[in-house]
């Protein structure tokens, strides 16, 4: 990978960013947010059981999202290490930690389906002591753990995005304004260090992050990394 053209690396990163955005929007916005009714365990259980195939598909898409996220982390490290290897490595490890947390949180997304299925076709021995209403409440609690875990991962992504933005700003092979956009986006995700603040600021933060990501994708795909400058840094 270190021998791959930096311009090609940038384009792969752009496609991975796009894949992360598309899969996240589909699984979270078009499936999860529509099926899960906050504060209504019974309605959530009915929605999940009535759309089991779609619910399982969303879980698979969540996993694809995280595979793309981790791959993107590794490629950002390769692309930005000529600027400062220590900072690039730190950003990669922090981003990887966020990916691990978010992937583990997604386990709590699929578990409610396993919990609810026995109530649809007969009581499971494990759940025999619980009423259907209690089982539905357990499922909703598990889904809330999934949401809290995913939100916690955003703070880790905030640190890594800010560090990568700083490296882009310091580089000579990418425009400084792109690094500024990335650093502002990362600082926005850092609001999730305090979850109540992150929840209130979520809409403007995510809109700016989408704008920053879109600009980065376009620049990497159609303009690309200045290879001669990157090679100079790599040799140094």
The CA-based dihedral angle spanning residues 79, 13, 54, 98, taken in that order and rounded to the nearest 10 degrees:
20
Looking at residue 233, what is its pLDDT? 75
How many of the other CB atoms lie within 10 Å of CB of 143?
21
| % of the chain exceeding 70 in pLDDT | 93
Tokens of 55: 């619910």
Looking at residue 61, what is its pLDDT? 96
pLDDT digits over 135-176, tens only? 889 999 999 999 999 999 999 999 999 999 999 999 989 999
Which candidate, 63, 70, 130, 141, places its Cα nearest to that of 99? 70
Q: Where are the domains of the chain?
A: 6-147+217-231
| % of the chain exceeding 90 in pLDDT | 79
Task: Please tell me whether residue 81 adopts helix, strand or coil conformation.
Answer: coil
Looking at residue 91, what is its pLDDT? 97
Binned at pLDDT 50, 70 and 90, residue 130 comes out as: confident
Q: How far apart are CA 187 and CA 203, in angstroms?
A: 14
With a cut of 60, say whether residue 123 has pLDDT above it: no
pLDDT digits over 77-94, tens only? 999 999 999 999 999 999
Q: Longest C-alpha distance within the chain, in Å?
A: 68
Helix residue ranges, H only, the chain: 6-24, 33-35, 41-50, 52-80, 85-121, 132-170, 176-189, 195-200, 202-222, 227-235
Looking at residue 93, what is its pLDDT? 97
pLDDT digits over 205-230, tens only? 999 999 999 999 999 999 989 988 88
Taking the model in full, what pTM does it have? 0.90
With a cut of 60, say whether residue 119 has pLDDT above it: no
Higher-confidence position of 188 and 1: 188
Handedness of CA 90, 93, 95, 97 (dihedral sign): negative
With a cut of 90, say whether residue 62 has pLDDT above it: yes
Q: State the average pLDDT for the chain.
A: 91
Q: How far apart are CA 58 and CA 28, in angstroms?
A: 8
Looking at residue 117, what is its pLDDT? 80
Q: How far apart are CA 126 and CA 119, in angstroms?
A: 11
Looking at residue 125, what is its pLDDT? 58
Looking at residue 120, what is its pLDDT? 53
Looking at residue 174, what is its pLDDT? 94
């Amino acid at each position: 990978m270190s021998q791959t053209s930096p311009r090609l690396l940038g384009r792969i990163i752009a496609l991975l960013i796009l894949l992360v955005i598309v899969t996240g929007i589909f699984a979270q916005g078009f499936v999860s947010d529509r099926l899960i009714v906050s504060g209504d365990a019974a309605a959530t259980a009915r929605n999940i059981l009535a759309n089991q195939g779609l619910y399982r598909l969303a879980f698979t898409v969540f996993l694809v999202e995280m595979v793309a996220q981790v791959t993107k982390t590794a490629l950002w490290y390769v692309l930005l290490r000529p600027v400062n290897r220590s900072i690039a490595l730190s950003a990669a490890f922090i981003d990887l930690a966020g990916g691990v947390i978010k992937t583990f949180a997604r386990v709590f997304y699929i578990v409610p389906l396993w919990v609810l299925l026995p109530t649809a076709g007969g009581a499971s021995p494990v759940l025999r002591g619980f009423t259907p209403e209690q089982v539905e409440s357990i499922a909703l609690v598990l889904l809330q753990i999934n949401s809290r875990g995913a939100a916690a991962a955003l703070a880790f992504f905030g640190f890594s995005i800010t560090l990568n933005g700083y490296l882009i700003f310091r580089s000579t092979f990418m425009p400084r304004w792109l690094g500024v956009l990335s650093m502002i986006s990362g600082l926005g995700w850092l609001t999730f260090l305090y979850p109540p603040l992150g929840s209130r600021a979520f809409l403007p933060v995510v809109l700016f992050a989408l704008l920053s990501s879109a600009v980065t994708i376009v620049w990497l795909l159609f303009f690309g990394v200045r290879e001669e400058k990157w090679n100079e840094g790599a040799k140094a």
